[in-house]
């Protein structure tokens, strides 16, 4: 089931991101708007576009979340691989996404201090 959903999500995401899909969406809205006078701007006429866009939006939320989760996980794995092979890197960074907000704030402060020291060394050497 997960494999089928992943394949369907990938295919749909690729299609949804194409210029042609955007153009078709614009054409649908234009046709709907132009058809308004023929339906006397009825509640049913309005309901058609409202229902259609609501359903598409609802489904796209799950698709976008799936795509974002997969991309984020792949990015983490790539960065973890770079940390793993780097001699001077701290391997504890590989599990940072599992840390608490407080632990992340501490690491951020440490990195900012380190960057500040490095910037000062560069300024001194250049000066």
- The pLDDT profile of the chain, 127 residues, written as one tens digit per residue, is 888 888 888 888 889 889 999 999 999 999 999 999 999 999 999 999 999 999 999 999 998 898 889 899 999 999 989 988 988 888 888 888 888 999 989 988 888 888 876 666 666 777 6
Q: Give pLDDT, residue 75.
A: 93
pTM above 0.75, yes or no: no
What gap in Å lies between CA 79 and CA 98, rounded to an integer? 15
Q: Give pLDDT, residue 118.
A: 64
Query: What do you get for the CA distance between the two ends of the chain, in Å?
Result: 62
What is the C-alpha radius of gyration for the chain, rounded to an integer number of angstroms?
25
Q: Give pLDDT, residue 42.
A: 96
Element at 42 (helix H, strand E): none
Q: Give pLDDT, residue 101.
A: 92
Q: Give pLDDT, residue 55.
A: 96
Q: Is 89 left (phi over 0), alpha (psi -120 to 50) or beta?
A: beta
Which residues fall within 8 angstroms of residue 48, CB to CB, at 6 or more apart? Answer: 32
> What b/e sequence results for 99-110 when a residue is b if at least 16 CB atoms lie within 10 Å of its CB, and e otherwise?
eeeeeeeeeeee
């Amino acid at each position: 089931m997960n494999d089928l959903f992943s394949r369907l999500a990938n295919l749909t995401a690729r299609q949804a991101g194409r210029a042609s899909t955007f153009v078709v969406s614009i054409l649908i809205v234009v046709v709907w708007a132009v058809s308004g006078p023929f339906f006397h701007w009825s509640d049913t006429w309005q309901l058609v576009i409202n229902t259609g866009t609501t359903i598409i939006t609802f489904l796209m939320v799950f698709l976008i979340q799936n795509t974002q989760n997969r991309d984020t996980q792949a990015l983490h794995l790539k960065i973890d691989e770079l940390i793993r092979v780097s001699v001077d890197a701290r391997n504890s960074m590989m599990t940072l996404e599992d840390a608490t907000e407080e632990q992340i704030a501490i690491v951020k402060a440490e990195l900012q201090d380190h960057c500040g020291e490095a910037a000062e060394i560069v300024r001194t050497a250049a000066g």
